[in-house]
Amino acid sequence: MSANSRRTAALLRDRTRANRAESRARRAAATAARRVRTGPRSLATHIIATGASLDVVAGAADALRAQARKAGIRGRAARIRRTLNGRARRVVTVYRYTVEQVAQIVATYKPRKAEYKAIRAVLAAA
């Protein structure tokens, strides 16, 4: 195999990997958007539905959670089994928020980071 064909194969492999990752992110956002339309979901799911990158989702969700506490907005409680260290499944109470509740939370949210501002704009428009 020549160096040129190895380079071409590597290029195609990298392009395929990138396309697959982008497709996975798009599919996750579309699934989250569908779920948000059908009922209450976690704040992270609402943020994923905006199409935000997955590396900022946790930080933005934490910030919105703090704003929800300040505003006194409590979502609907749900009990889930959370896997811990790959083994134990502890029962944890989580909260699910409707689109209207998220809009109320976002109304008081004043982010500083550019990514969070973009997320706020999309959530406020919804």
Helix-, strand-, coil-residue percentages of the chain, each rounded to 5: 65, 15, 20
Separation between Cα atoms, residue 19 and residue 23, nearest integer Å:
6
Residue 2: per-residue pLDDT: 85
Kindly report the pTM of this predicted structure.
Answer: 0.75
**Bridge partner list, 80:** 92
For the cut 90, the answer to whether the pLDDT of residue 87 exceeds it is no
The set of residues, in sequence order, having a beta carbon less than 8 Å from that of 116 and lying 6+ positions away, is 56, 59, 60, 63
